[in-house]
Structure 1
Amino acid sequence: MKVAPLSDIKLHVRFKLSALWASLMFCYIYGDYFGLYVPGQLQGMLAGAGPVGPVSQGSLSGTALLLAVPGLMAFLSLVVSPRLCRWLNIALGLFYTAVMLVTMPGAWWFYITLGMIEVVLSLLIVAYAWRWPRGGPISD
């Protein structure tokens, strides 16, 4: 008995980019959550130690912005012009790849595991944006 192939639809690169940013955000959230279980982490937070030095309104605002951008990219990848979308995804994908590579050395294994997944996801973002198909109606 021959089985018919499963049907599928072709997804536009925008949907792929949006899904990759959403996946990246889930890894960030889980990494930060699991990080709370590292011995001494909560005591350090209560003592005012932040991710990049002493906690201040500025350091927390910067960290919030750093972590908000990937979440916003899940939406922006669907709505901004193709040219802007492509370059935002390439630039921010490379930026977040670098952020992960800088923060992973010396980390616990769970963080390195999630970090490697995040590097792959962010490089996939760059690759899909780089290979954005040409042709069709001009919408820029």
Structure 2
Amino acid sequence: MDIKQNSNMLKNEEVNIKIKLAFLWAAVTLCYLYGDYFELYVPRKTEGLINGDNLLDSPMKLLFASILLAIPAVMVFLSVILKPKVNRILNILFGIFFTAIMLLIAFTSLTPWRSFYVFLALLESIITSLIVVYAWKWPKN
């Protein structure tokens, strides 16, 4: 290999598994936020928010939804700070759990006005599946 050809090659650093997992959880969190924001544009959605005719129509349902949606956001941080064994287990468990939830949401949202939701749910299920795969294949010493 000559010097000119060698100088055109870009270096690709290995990214730590913890950083990969944290960024994947961040991507999931952003997709949730975008989905919930775009849902406000669905006809009669804001009307339901104002008059209380919606899925989260009680304090307990709001608390449950808050806990559920806090998990991916907190996993961004936990993926960086936890020790590998616990980290791997939590990423696999929550990854499988959220993949299942997102697939359920995708298949129950098959309407023209929620096609964006189906797209985001399928994207989130791909991302959470990647979380499971990366955590499952956690590098050994």
TM-score (norm 2): 0.89
Secondary structure in 1 aligned to 2:79? helix
2:75 to 73, 76, 83: 73
State how 1:89-108 maps to structure 2 within 5 Å: 89-107=91-109, 108=114
2:53 equivalent to 1:49: yes
Give the number of equivalent residue pairs.
133
Separation in structure 1 between the aligned mates of residue 135 and residue 67 of structure 2, nearest angstrom: 23
Structure number having the greater helix percentage:
2
Separation in structure 2 between the aligned mates of residue 50 and residue 15 of structure 1, nearest angstrom: 37
Secondary structure in 1 aligned to 2:125? helix
The structure with the largest alpha-carbon Rg is 2
Moved over 6 A (4+): none
Q: Which runs of 5+ in 2 are unaligned?
A: none
Alignment RMSD: 1.2
Separation in structure 1 between the aligned mates of residue 102 and residue 55 of structure 2, nearest angstrom: 13
Separation in structure 1 between the aligned mates of residue 50 and residue 59 of structure 2, nearest angstrom: 15
Matching residue of 2:31:
27
1:44-75 deviation digits (Å, cap 9, x = unpaired): 111213335xx111110110111111000000
Q: Is the 8 A contact 2:105 2:118 kept in 1?
A: no
2:21 equivalent to 1:17: yes
Secondary structure in 2 aligned to 1:33? helix
Matching residue of 2:63:
61
Separation in structure 1 between the aligned mates of residue 83 and residue 115 of structure 2, nearest angstrom: 39
Q: Which runs of 5+ in 1 are unaligned?
A: 136-140
Secondary structure in 2 aligned to 1:50? coil
Separation in structure 2 between the aligned mates of residue 51 and residue 28 of structure 1, nearest angstrom: 16
38-47 or 116-125, which deviates more: 38-47
1:64-90 deviation digits (Å, cap 9, x = unpaired): 111111000000000011100000000
